Amino acid sequence: MKKLVTAFAACALAGAVFAQVESVNIVGYATTAINSATWYQIAPTFIPVQGTENDGTAINDIFTTGFAEGDAIYVWNQTTQSYDAYSWLNEPTDENGDPTIAGWADAGDVRTSVALPLGSSMFIYKLSTGDGTFGLVQ
pTM of the model: 0.69
- Tell which wins on pLDDT, 85 or 51: 85
Three state DSSP letters for 40-88? EEECCCCCCCCCCCCCCEEHHHHEEECCCCCCEEEEEECCCCEEEEEEE
Domain annotation covers residue 4: no
Q: Which domain holds residue 100?
A: 25-137
For the chain, percent of residues with pLDDT exceeding 90: 29
Q: How many domains does the chain have?
A: 1
Amino acid letter for position 63: F
What local confidence, expressed as pLDDT, does residue 102 receive?
95
Any domain includes 77? yes
